Chains A and B, each alone.
Chain A
Amino acid sequence: MSRESLLEHLRSARARARALWGRIVRQVTLFLVTVEHTWRRSLQVRVVTLTLVVSSLLVAVFAYVVAYRSSTILLNRAEQTVTAQMESGRRFTGEQLAVFGKAYEPNVQGTMQDIVAYLGGGDAQEPSSGLVVVRADAVELTSVQSRAVKDENLREVLGTDITTAVGDGAEATAIRSADLGAGRAKYLVKGAPVRTKFGQVELYYIEPLTTQDSAATQIRTTVLATGATLVLLLGLLAALVTRLVVRPVRVAARTAQRLSAGLLDQRMAVTGEDDLALLAASFNQMAANLQRQIIRLEDMSRLQRRFTSDVSHELRTPLTTVRMAADLIFAERDRFPADVSRTAEILQTELDRFESLLTDLLEISRYDAGFAMLDAEPTDLVPLVHRAVEPLRGLAERCGADLRVEVPATPVIADVDPRRVERILRNLVGNAVEHAEHRPVDVRLVSDGVAVAVAVRDRGVGLKPGEEKLVFNRFWRADPSRARQTGGTGLGLSISIEDARLHGGWLEAWGAPGQGAQFRLTLPVRAGDRLTASPLRLVPEDAELPAVLPPAQPRAITQAPAEVPR
């Protein structure tokens, strides 16, 4: 295999490993996210988890105490038994060795053997039984034990630590593990010195702790199994109880969602007389009250709109008559004295205003009744803008405001209702001129192929914070004491915003005190398209902004403004 192919293999293996690692990380992350999501979303999961954790802690502490105590008791029992054995064994050994005056006397060794055989008991040769050892290193005698065990195994049990302690004259105890014939097991080792005429010998009892150990293990297993079962049962119980509580809450939540979606006749099932039944009953009562209120308000609203529409219609006929009479008087005003002539002029003006107010009211009531229909057609907006602006130039001159129009050189075609768009623009420009305070008013038309925007900017007193939305309310006035110069009806912007909405477009306002205001109309190029951004910024570029710009109302603008390059 060549070096290149080897490297190639290595590279591919590394890539595979990376891919695998990536997959694992993705799976784990996905799992963690799912868990986290479930944790956040499910009250039941949280309650069950917390119950499991807390009960596990309690059970573990309890089990630890029980297991610890039981093994301590078992060990103490074993120690007491061995201590008693040691007492008698020590006495016996002392008596038996007392007959010897010197260590080299014949049969000392034999007596030691007899001692361990006697103390070892009848079953001393059983591999699982304990061991009795007599050591007499101090007097240079071979140590003896009650049954044959390999030296190295015995050394594991009778280490130098315990033999030194006993050799120094102490009675000592320890636990050791070793294989003394019946597999590895734990042993309780107890040693004590025995005085004889020829010196000190050491007596050791090595008792298996197999019974105690298995008893301790059984207790531990039982406690653990019981604890685990308890924890599981508690978890199950918590799940059941939570389910009992959460399920009606979920039903209530779903019902509330349906209710908020307008299905006012949705109700919860009331079963029993408990707290949840009370919740359901209260919920149902609330829903009934809400339904009643909403129906009442709807009725009232419908009545009001109908009233407005009816009044407008009813007023139109006498107004037509009055108008015909007023036109006659106005045409003949030269023939009247000057003051009557003046009155005829005022009558004529006010009738104009009355008529346009009535028209606006009828238009609004059409919107309210849902009868407004969009009559969209591909329209070039450039002439439309001009058409809307031109009639107002006279007013602009009167107001001393310079009316500037900036439109693309090429036609801007969009599917719009030209009558409504023209009405919106006339309204916006009229308002701007009215509030221009002798300063220029700019009208800009921009399109990016998806949306088309028209911005109207004045540099008058501007809007106070929060007034950007109020301006679209019916009959709203920034300064109620201020007199109308243009004779607006107070419904213009309300109608304009309804017109923009009818197109699926936006009509928004910006203003700052002393910096004037800008209104922007954004419409989709193709009727029915959903707007995502406007080609023009709502906040003019020459506006002095505070350091942190509060988010402008439509998210789409601040997020992804599709600026048109200049």
Chain B
Amino acid sequence: MTRRRLAGLVVTGGLVAGLVVGCGIPDHTDVKVDRVGPVSGSNQNSDPEPVPPSRTDADNVEEFVQNFLTAAAGEFDPGGKTDQRVRDYVSGPAPALKNVNLVEVAKIDVRPNNRDVALTVNHLGVLDAEGRISPPDETTTTYQLQVRAEESGGWRLTKVPPETLLDFEALKTYYTERTLYFWNADRNALVPDLRWLPAEVPTSRVPTELLEMIEDGPSPWLGTSASALPGDSKLLANAPIDNDLLTMNWSPAVGNDGQDSLAQQVAWTMRASGLHPRWLQIKINGQARDKLDVNDLLYRTPYPVGPEPHPYAILDGKVSALTVPTGVPAPVPLAAAVNQKLRFAAFKRADDAVDAAIVNQRNELRVGSAGRGAEITDLALVTGVTPRSAPVWLPRSRMGLVAGTDQRLYLFGPDHVARRLAPSGLRDITAVAVAPDGQRIALIADGKVFVVPVSIGQDGVKLLEPRAVIAPLDSPTAVAWSSENALSIGGTESPDRLSITDVTVDSARRTPRVYDARGEISMIAAFPETAALGRTSSTVLYQADNATWLALGTSTQLGRSALVGAAPTQTPGNDQPTQPIAPFFVY
């Protein structure tokens, strides 16, 4: 009996102890394998990427210095690869890799001792981590360097410039041009903003990098013509493109109203960089919104460049449509009564009307308009200006710009009165060109080329701070926008050579277009490339030697036959040029 009772007590005690200690959530368990996934090895991206030469790649001191001037090309990541590369070139502390001075190397003079080097450069701008190139702030043109031969091979710099220098030629190799789009102040037009992204950034990361640039706002030189995202909008995570879907996670500061315009802005930016996501999804703090069709976003964004350009030229004092080099000929919206004795003309297509501005042989500026499809029968005289070059229309407004014979810039509009505009610090304005977006203009003033952001608001047109474009040409005579970020500038390359060179607005890229112009280039007309809309090349016509030329590697003259309905020979009794002149595009 006692034994059984004891056993019962023991069992009860054990159970109660087990209850108190045993059940409940344990302190520690063995590792339980839920699922065995595939062992993923390193899946390295094998795309070869251009890497600047390393310190030991040079065969002589000059090449070593040249290589040094490319070493800073890459991502400005403290302690990163670029930083390490620059430090490797230098014995001792290297200049900070924060803002890099973009230079055009004029001369590398290696002294006979193979130790001292005099480096002569021209400053083009300052490249920052956001890929912006701002106007140069350095004036030093000659740097004294010292190199030392290393026992392990190669050289090292023992005396370095106080700032980091980067040869602008290296940009072509190690960077890719990227265009960001920002909305203007009225949010009715996108303003392109040129950036440089290191080519080593893998494609998968490009969207994130571009969005981060958008987050940081437009380049300062664009001023108020381009507006940043509202408040402290922030990209919260990387933006991958997966299955044709670009997902981006923004902070709520973007705002509900701003999402659609942000989406359009991003769609344009992605497409301009050659990225083709079909869908775009904005998340706000991780909360997904609707998926948006990128094509839809692209085409419902107002952009003042139509899909089809219409080239025109003036022959025998009449505006006629050109059949070459691109686009389709369109009817001339001028009635025959007014389409005579003209020097220059410019048309502007709007949804419901056509505006025309002409300069006749009496050097009068006249403007007129008609409904779409109708001909303009009456051109009113614009008072207050005597034009010296072709007028240009500002998109999305009924106003235009023209340089006067007094070398001032004039704004004309529906009230038929020209008002003088005074871009700060610019004088002797001889040519003007309006960017396809209408938010920037290019001027030739005082023998130099400038780009000026324009703010078109309720109170008229306001010119912002101009930015000089450093072109490799002397005495530029004509300018046009060959792309959203580049100008075609005509001028003298050398005493015996008249050329047209395309220069980006930040002066960082120069592309010669023609170098065999027959005479002074008096005007340039361009149908700009717009990568975002799939147009990757531009068409440039210019006028020189009283003739129209197509600038395509070499110059090709457009004869009378290129015009629709032109008589094969000149009308007798007319002292005007016998070939088409003053070409322009309507788009």
Q: Which residues of A contact B (CB under 8 A)?
A: 36, 49, 53-54, 56-57, 60-61, 63-64, 67-68, 71, 74-75, 83, 92, 95-102, 104-107, 111, 114-115, 118, 139, 161-162, 165, 168-177, 186, 190, 192-193, 195-200, 209, 212-213, 216-217, 220, 223-224
Check A220–B19 contact: CB distance below 8 A.
Answer: yes
Given A75-B25, A106-B80, A174-B29, answer yes or no on A64-B240 (Cβ-Cβ < 8 Å): no
Q: Residue-by-residue, is B475-495 near A (CB-CB < 8 Å gives 1, otherwise 0)?
A: 000000000000000000000
Instruction: Tell me which residues across on chain B come within 8 A of A220, comparing CB atoms.
Output: 19-20, 23-24
Interface check B220, CB cutoff 8 A: no
Given A98-B204, A192-B37, answer yes or no on A175-B28 (Cβ-Cβ < 8 Å): yes
Instruction: Tell me which residues across on chain A come within 8 A of B28, comparing CB atoms.
Output: 174-177
Instruction: Tell me which residues across on chain A come within 8 A of B3, comparing CB atoms.
Output: none
Instruction: Tell me which residues across on chain B come within 8 A of A56, comparing CB atoms.
Output: 12, 16
Q: When the two chains form the complex, which single residue of B12, B30, B238, B286 contacts A174, counting CB atoms closer than 8 Å?
A: B30
Instruction: Tell me which residues across on chain B come within 8 A of A101, comparing CB atoms.
Output: 44-45, 47, 202, 204-205
Instruction: Tell me which residues across on chain B come within 8 A of A217, comparing CB atoms.
Output: 24
Check B36–A99 contact: CB distance below 8 A.
Answer: no
Check B33–A170 contact: CB distance below 8 A.
Answer: yes
Nearest B residue to A83 via CB reads B34
Q: Residue-by-residue, is B331-354 near A (CB-CB < 8 Å gives 1, otherwise 0)?
A: 000000000000000000000000
Check A171–B35 contact: CB distance below 8 A.
Answer: yes
Q: When the two chains form the complex, which single residue of A106, A162, A174, A175 contacts B77, counting CB atoms closer than 8 Å?
A: A106
Check A96–B24 contact: CB distance below 8 A.
Answer: no
Nearest A residue to B47 via CB reads A101
Instruction: Tell me which residues across on chain A come within 8 A of B19, comparing CB atoms.
Output: 60, 63-64, 67, 220, 223-224
- A-B complex: 3 closest residue pairs judged by Cβ atoms: A106-B77, A101-B202, A101-B45
CA distance A78 to B35 in the complex (A): 18
Instruction: Tell me which residues across on chain A come within 8 A of B239, comparing CB atoms.
Output: 99
Check A53–B40 contact: CB distance below 8 A.
Answer: no
Instruction: Tell me which residues across on chain B come within 8 A of A177, comparing CB atoms.
Output: 27-28
Given contacts A170-B37, A171-B34, A213-B24, 16 further A-B contacts (CB under 8 A): A53-B8, A57-B8, A64-B23, A68-B23, A83-B34, A98-B240, A100-B204, A169-B39, A170-B33, A171-B35, A172-B33, A186-B25, A186-B26, A193-B37, A213-B25, A217-B24
Given A56-B12, A101-B205, A171-B37, answer yes or no on A161-B31 (Cβ-Cβ < 8 Å): yes
Instruction: Tell me which residues across on chain A come within 8 A of B33, comparing CB atoms.
Output: 165, 170-172
- 30 A-B residue pairs with Cβ-Cβ distance under 8 Å, sorted by A, are A49-B5, A60-B15, A68-B22, A68-B23, A92-B237, A95-B247, A98-B204, A105-B201, A105-B202, A111-B238, A118-B236, A118-B249, A168-B39, A170-B35, A171-B36, A171-B37, A172-B31, A174-B32, A175-B28, A177-B27, A186-B26, A186-B27, A190-B34, A195-B43, A199-B43, A200-B41, A212-B25, A216-B23, A220-B23, A224-B16
Check A104–B81 contact: CB distance below 8 A.
Answer: yes
Check B77–A99 contact: CB distance below 8 A.
Answer: no
Instruction: Tell me which residues across on chain A come within 8 A of B41, comparing CB atoms.
Output: 199-200
Instruction: Tell me which residues across on chain B come within 8 A of A175, comparing CB atoms.
Output: 25-29
CA distance A166 to B57 in the complex (A): 43
Q: Which residues of B contact A (CB under 8 A)?
A: 2, 5, 8-9, 11-12, 15-16, 18-20, 22-45, 47, 75, 77, 80-81, 201-202, 204-205, 207-208, 236-240, 242, 247, 249, 286
Check B31–A114 contact: CB distance below 8 A.
Answer: no
Say how far B142's CB is from chain A's closest CB, in angstroms. 33
Instruction: Tell me which residues across on chain B come within 8 A of A54, comparing CB atoms.
Output: 8
CA distance A186 to B204 in the complex (A): 40
Instruction: Tell me which residues across on chain A come within 8 A of B20, comparing CB atoms.
Output: 220, 224
Check B240–A195 contact: CB distance below 8 A.
Answer: no
Check A162–B12 contact: CB distance below 8 A.
Answer: no
Check B205–A105 contact: CB distance below 8 A.
Answer: yes
Instruction: Tell me which residues across on chain A come within 8 A of B238, comparing CB atoms.
Output: 95-97, 99, 111, 114
Instruction: Tell me which residues across on chain B come within 8 A of A67, comparing CB atoms.
Output: 19, 23-24
Instruction: Tell me which residues across on chain A come within 8 A of B27, comparing CB atoms.
Output: 175, 177, 186
Chain B residues touching A, majority SS: loop
Instruction: Tell me which residues across on chain B come within 8 A of A165, comparing CB atoms.
Output: 31, 33
Instruction: Tell me which residues across on chain B come within 8 A of A213, comparing CB atoms.
Output: 24-25
Given A118-B236, A171-B34, answer yes or no on A198-B43 (Cβ-Cβ < 8 Å): yes
Instruction: Tell me which residues across on chain B come within 8 A of A115, comparing CB atoms.
Output: 237
Nearest B residue to A164 via CB reads B31
Nearest B residue to A167 via CB reads B39
Instruction: Tell me which residues across on chain B come within 8 A of A100, comparing CB atoms.
Output: 202, 204-205
CA distance A209 to B208 in the complex (A): 37
Q: When the two chains form the complex, which single residue of B25, B31, B36, B45 contacts A71, counting CB atoms closer than 8 Å?
A: B25
Check A195–B237 contact: CB distance below 8 A.
Answer: no
Check A118–B286 contact: CB distance below 8 A.
Answer: yes
CA distance A367 to B8 in the complex (A): 62
Given A71-B24, A165-B31, answer yes or no on A57-B40 (Cβ-Cβ < 8 Å): no
Check B40–A193 contact: CB distance below 8 A.
Answer: yes
CA distance A200 to B43 in the complex (A): 9
Nearest A residue to B2 via CB reads A36
Instruction: Tell me which residues across on chain B come within 8 A of A196, comparing CB atoms.
Output: 43
Nearest A residue to B200 via CB reads A105
CA distance A104 to B78 in the complex (A): 12
Check B25–A99 contact: CB distance below 8 A.
Answer: no
Say how far A167's CB is from chain B's closest CB, in angstroms. 9
CA distance A95 to B237 in the complex (A): 10
Among B11, B24, B35, B286, chain A packs the most CB atoms within 10 A around the CB of: B24
Check A169–B24 contact: CB distance below 8 A.
Answer: no
CA distance A378 to B369 in the complex (A): 175
Instruction: Tell me which residues across on chain A come within 8 A of B75, comparing CB atoms.
Output: 105-106
Say how far A199's CB is from chain B's closest CB, in angstroms. 4
Given A53-B5, A99-B205, A165-B31, answer yes or no on A60-B25 (Cβ-Cβ < 8 Å): no
Say how far A50's CB is from chain B's closest CB, in angstroms. 9
Check B237–A197 contact: CB distance below 8 A.
Answer: no
Check B204–A173 contact: CB distance below 8 A.
Answer: no
Check A95–B43 contact: CB distance below 8 A.
Answer: no
CA distance A92 to B23 in the complex (A): 36
Given A53-B12, A99-B205, A101-B202, answer yes or no on A169-B36 (Cβ-Cβ < 8 Å): yes
Nearest A residue to B205 via CB reads A99
Nearest A residue to B208 via CB reads A99
Instruction: Tell me which residues across on chain B come within 8 A of A212, comparing CB atoms.
Output: 25
CA distance A213 to B27 in the complex (A): 10
Instruction: Tell me which residues across on chain B come within 8 A of A64, comparing CB atoms.
Output: 15, 18-19, 22-23
Say how far A131's CB is from chain B's closest CB, in angstroms. 18
Nearest A residue to B82 via CB reads A106
